[in-house]
Structure 1
């Protein structure tokens, strides 16, 4: 290093761990004994309040080198800086590691707990509002957490949207879970930025030393597994780590690994469930439903793999394949002379929010030669109300090209009459949970939804119809279209074609 030191003043070392895309700051760190401030920078890597490294190579002559002496900063300042998250000013993971070692050194048999606090869906905040607002929200989250926790433990900001609370006292698990509930309730209160209300939730995972891990990395890993389990069970929950969670996490990893290769290996297939005219019993539509048969895992339920695909972003290429395959199949049936009917395709929030989603739909329709009026896109209430302005814009563009929109699982979310009229929905689908309880209180709700749809000039489709009693009620209530196992389960394209031939 010495021979370089004479000519290259800045010899940079990578320090710190963890990275997010939330914070960029100019800071120089030198693997010598001081920090030098300079405007001559070639590359800076500083993210999420944690420094990863900087590379700068300015050649100085002796006179310039001497003039830099006044800009030296003691290494003690650097060490202190390196243990703080510069965004929230909370102790970071390096500080947590140091604290953990101190505690073990003082009393190896001491029991303590860590709470991993993770903000749900924070990526969407960054994607929709931008990283600058995302940073401001993280600062406010940190402030609210500090206020809520008070003196119950030590709070650390270890990366991005993840915080850790270290509790040294030998509190009962009941008390720790109550603290978790307090944190969750506090974080559920909205944040206001630029006159806009932002609602966030957190999930909390709990692991204790030594039962939840013999070292810090294992403790953090298991607390994070508990967080993921809490997210999957229900948003804004807290769970204590247990070994069964590892089995679920391993299953999830197995799903992710196999999902990555599923498209390439042609493991997906579309099934189609007929939609029946309630008066004529004719097939008047089909819903395309994705099925996955893996050589190792066997038949995997969509309820299990679709959330994983959404979480990993694989829903984008998978969703593209579904849309293109459904359109191509429908175009083929029409070319073979079968009566034209629409095919409905489910669209996830992630797909819908893609900037070029509408362009993608247009391209697929052109490539498959399908007339847009024979494509229905199904969105859920959560997709519709996530960003009302975006939703209205996208739906208007889709309807301009002739594609119809169906609102799926109506009645299970938070839609209002105002949203329904603004979004100009073409088809209203009654969730199967209401249909299954026909004969009880839900039958009133079902009838109300049918009347609502009719008054707004929408077609009404009832999903999950399984009994003649349900069918009779829906027909008498004025429901247009019936879908469910009473008529047919979802079937592969070949069997649907046989049904077409029988009906011809």
Structure 2
């Protein structure tokens, strides 16, 4: 660019810029990054005598200004900062080379503007970075007489005392007003694993090496070891994200893969704030990373400060909150999918503060856990829950099981089992009304006292539930090592509503059933989620779809308004047993409940739903109507069969025919309570619209042949004879169910069937001859074949074995015959007549 271009600033402006305490530079925003202006302060800082001398040193381009080793980084940082939403500013820290070859550290603040003639321009303000000089001076001021207290003996780093002294010097120097600094707080996560696996010497070597690396990385700053695996770093406030990334990279290179770090930063530019407060804020930012997945670095903000303020208040006020009943117990309903009934509640704490209002759990649970006094809150909640259950019992109301959440600190800082036992005994409630919820992280901590306490709970009769199942890496190991009653799934990742997420949920539910565990899904927010989980066989649901957490009376009122009835406590064990049944197979299966004289369909899997639709049964209600229709002999017969297999808990086989289909059912009674019984039924279709494919094997425990409308041929006499045959066939089959064989009744039934069949054949042939039915010749042949075979049955010498063979042959042959050839009576003739009429119609048209 020409020298004229550099004269775009007026003399008044240049005089103003020359009087500024720092260096000012203006350069173009194009690829050349040509320097248009440099003020006197900047030119002199580089040891140059004039602008021409400065341009000669830099080649007239901003690109050559940083030290050669810093140029690539500077270009990257400027480009990255300018790509942000408010990307008209950048800040960087780098070194520059002066005319005499000396290296000068500087801070640069850039602002991008757009000029109508020159295009994009950058205005840069430079500040000398004297931080290193001041720091060295401050460190020299530390009295060496107390060297053991001022330096860490293992790492050689500053102690906390010395580090705070250095910070105090920085504050006293007044430099914070122009050059803000920052404290980085580094917490090594899982450091103890190094000591456990490789020994204390390896742990010390790791800390020593890390300290040396940090001291080299922050040679312009101060590094201290605050605690066993906690470090603090005082540095300039530039590029904090990049510095944190570098620290983490070093740690991950030195340590095993499961050792990581959490880094917090606090920028210090207000000298009125104490050094120890800055360090605490940096630590708070580091601690806050635990609340965010995959986050290892964060900077302290005012919002985080507000959270710390609340946390301090909570910790200092918990005793008063308990004493004055500021802690309220809220409940969220648990709904059983099989019945849609309320089968439990989860107790949740809320802090209703007289001055701060209703505090959400996130404001007080974490602080109380960090302060290791969460047990005070938990025991208070448990006492209130038990007291409420006892009150319901006294008033004659439903006693509803309640799940309570326990923290790791509950096990470590009090005898939580004995504390809960004392409360339960004081109020006289049953132990099975309390369910103990623990998170995966509690159990994976491996403290023996936790396992011992959980064993005490289980032995005493409490259920043990795992909360947030699948949230960690050791879930499957936990299921291998410890027995839980219920696994709670968090539906948070189902909100992505992808096929993949649904498949994962379905697989987890199926796995739980296979290993004998029950599943509860929490966080259910929509009907679609609830329907999906019901279809997958999830036993219980919890979430805002049913209700948000509310005080006890309000939650009961909400359930009544929504028509959610309370499950009787006496049926809990019954429905738990039913719920454990795994129906997630490709076979046709269903759960059928008999309550008194009524049947209820509890669950139908997808394979059975698809099969029922083919029979034009489109709803559970239609299926229930069929089972409960006592005018249908088939329904009565099925009830009689179930009465005969009561309390056996074995698989029984039941065959039946209906609508040209031959079905086989495998039925097992799975639970009994009061006046109700539950059965799991697996159904197979052995034949459909094909008389030749009916089963050939011996009759099962019970078979029922149902005469349905599709077997009617429209001739009253013949239809009645067919109906009579079905009745005789079922009587013959029922005789097999008697434990004692009755020969006289067997001979009578065989004789009646043979006599009725002969009469029926004569009537049928006479009708077909009268109507000139073309099927008659085929019918006569089949009739003769049957009568010849039936005549070989000797009724007088009939044994139980020959009776079974005879009934098997007679019933199946006649069933096929009626379902096949008999249903064609009149059909071929009608078709022939229709063809003749159609032919006449075509002839008349011609």
The change in CA–CA distance for 1:84 and 1:233 in structure 2 (over 3 A counts) is closer
Q: How many residues align?
A: 412
Q: Would you say the 8 A contact 1:436–1:464 is kept in 2?
A: no
2:340 equivalent to 1:281: yes
Partner of 1:380: 439
Matches of 1:198 and 1:439 in 2, distance apart?
Answer: 30
Partner of 2:244: 180
| CA shift for structure 1 position 427 | 0.2
The change in CA–CA distance for 1:396 and 1:79 in structure 2 (over 3 A counts) is closer
Matches of 2:144 and 2:498 in 1, distance apart?
Answer: 72
The change in CA–CA distance for 1:173 and 1:398 in structure 2 (over 3 A counts) is same
The change in CA–CA distance for 1:389 and 1:99 in structure 2 (over 3 A counts) is closer
2:550 is aligned, of 491, 494, 497, to 491
- In the TM superposition, what whole-angstrom CA distance separates every residue of 1:153-187 from its partner, at most 9, and x where no partner exists? 332234565432233xx6x722x432222323444
Q: Would you say the 8 A contact 1:202–1:237 is kept in 2?
A: yes
The change in CA–CA distance for 1:99 and 1:428 in structure 2 (over 3 A counts) is closer
Matches of 1:328 and 1:304 in 2, distance apart?
Answer: 26
The change in CA–CA distance for 1:116 and 1:261 in structure 2 (over 3 A counts) is farther
Bigger mean CA offset, 93-102 vs 220-229: 93-102
Q: Would you say the 8 A contact 1:358–1:394 is kept in 2?
A: yes
1:201 is aligned, of 246, 249, 261, to 261
| CA shift for structure 1 position 422 | 1.4
- 1:180 is paired with a residue of what secondary structure? helix
Bigger mean CA offset, 411-420 vs 453-462: 411-420
The change in CA–CA distance for 1:99 and 1:451 in structure 2 (over 3 A counts) is same
2:297 equivalent to 1:229: no
Runs (5+) with no aligned partner, structure 2: 1-142, 569-846
- In the TM superposition, what whole-angstrom CA distance separates every residue of 1:33-68 from its partner, at most 9, and x where no partner exists? xxxxxxxxxxxxxxxxxxxxxxxxxxxxxxxxxxxx
2:409 is aligned, of 320, 328, 350, to 350
| CA shift for structure 1 position 320 | 0.9
The change in CA–CA distance for 1:135 and 1:304 in structure 2 (over 3 A counts) is farther
Matches of 2:301 and 2:496 in 1, distance apart?
Answer: 36
Partner of 2:225: 157
Partner of 2:518: 459
| CA shift for structure 1 position 281 | 1.4
The change in CA–CA distance for 1:364 and 1:222 in structure 2 (over 3 A counts) is same
Q: Would you say the 8 A contact 2:314–2:368 is kept in 1?
A: no
1:336 is aligned, of 372, 391, 395, to 395
Q: Would you say the 8 A contact 1:189–1:199 is kept in 2?
A: no
Bigger mean CA offset, 281-290 vs 156-165: 156-165
- 2:274 is paired with a residue of what secondary structure? helix
1:214 is aligned, of 263, 267, 271, to 271
The change in CA–CA distance for 1:358 and 1:82 in structure 2 (over 3 A counts) is same
Q: Would you say the 8 A contact 1:287–1:343 is kept in 2?
A: yes
- In the TM superposition, what whole-angstrom CA distance separates every residue of 1:247-268 from its partner, at most 9, and x where no partner exists? 4433433444444421111111
2:528 is aligned, of 455, 469, 493, to 469
1:249 is aligned, of 284, 308, 332, to 308
- In the TM superposition, what whole-angstrom CA distance separates every residue of 1:177-229 from its partner, at most 9, and x where no partner exists? 3222232344467969xxxx984633332434xx2x327x6244224313313
Partner of 1:265: 324
Q: Would you say the 8 A contact 1:347–1:377 is kept in 2?
A: yes
Matches of 1:352 and 1:185 in 2, distance apart?
Answer: 36
- 2:320 is paired with a residue of what secondary structure? helix
The change in CA–CA distance for 1:268 and 1:390 in structure 2 (over 3 A counts) is same
2:162 equivalent to 1:95: yes
1:81 is aligned, of 148, 160, 163, to 148
Bigger mean CA offset, 263-272 vs 329-338: 329-338
Q: Would you say the 8 A contact 1:83–1:91 is kept in 2?
A: yes
Q: Would you say the 8 A contact 2:344–2:400 is kept in 1?
A: yes
Matches of 2:205 and 2:308 in 1, distance apart?
Answer: 30
2:427 equivalent to 1:368: yes
The change in CA–CA distance for 1:77 and 1:281 in structure 2 (over 3 A counts) is closer
Matches of 1:333 and 1:405 in 2, distance apart?
Answer: 24
2:234 is aligned, of 155, 166, 183, to 166
- In the TM superposition, what whole-angstrom CA distance separates every residue of 1:357-395 from its partner, at most 9, and x where no partner exists? 222232222223222222111111211212275554332
The change in CA–CA distance for 1:106 and 1:159 in structure 2 (over 3 A counts) is same
- 1:296 is paired with a residue of what secondary structure? coil
Matches of 1:336 and 1:102 in 2, distance apart?
Answer: 70
Q: Would you say the 8 A contact 1:428–1:458 is kept in 2?
A: yes
The change in CA–CA distance for 1:483 and 1:241 in structure 2 (over 3 A counts) is closer
2:505 equivalent to 1:442: no
Matches of 1:84 and 1:322 in 2, distance apart?
Answer: 47
Partner of 1:65: none
Q: Would you say the 8 A contact 2:157–2:211 is kept in 1?
A: no
- 1:271 is paired with a residue of what secondary structure? strand
| CA shift for structure 1 position 457 | 1.1
Matches of 2:433 and 2:425 in 1, distance apart?
Answer: 13
Matches of 1:502 and 1:247 in 2, distance apart?
Answer: 43
Q: Would you say the 8 A contact 2:494–2:502 is kept in 1?
A: yes
Matches of 1:437 and 1:221 in 2, distance apart?
Answer: 41
Matches of 1:497 and 1:107 in 2, distance apart?
Answer: 63
Partner of 1:409: 468
Q: TM-score, normalised by structure 2?
A: 0.44
Partner of 1:119: 187
Q: Would you say the 8 A contact 1:434–1:442 is kept in 2?
A: yes
Q: Would you say the 8 A contact 1:189–1:200 is kept in 2?
A: no
The change in CA–CA distance for 1:402 and 1:245 in structure 2 (over 3 A counts) is closer
Matches of 1:479 and 1:304 in 2, distance apart?
Answer: 32
- In the TM superposition, what whole-angstrom CA distance separates every residue of 1:107-136 from its partner, at most 9, and x where no partner exists? 9578463434243789x979xx99xx9999
Bigger mean CA offset, 263-272 vs 483-492: 483-492
2:198 equivalent to 1:141: no
Matches of 2:300 and 2:486 in 1, distance apart?
Answer: 44
Q: Would you say the 8 A contact 2:188–2:259 is kept in 1?
A: no
Matches of 1:461 and 1:245 in 2, distance apart?
Answer: 34
Q: Would you say the 8 A contact 1:405–1:427 is kept in 2?
A: yes
For the aligned residues, what is the CA RMSD?
A: 3.7
Matches of 2:389 and 2:189 in 1, distance apart?
Answer: 36
The change in CA–CA distance for 1:375 and 1:219 in structure 2 (over 3 A counts) is same
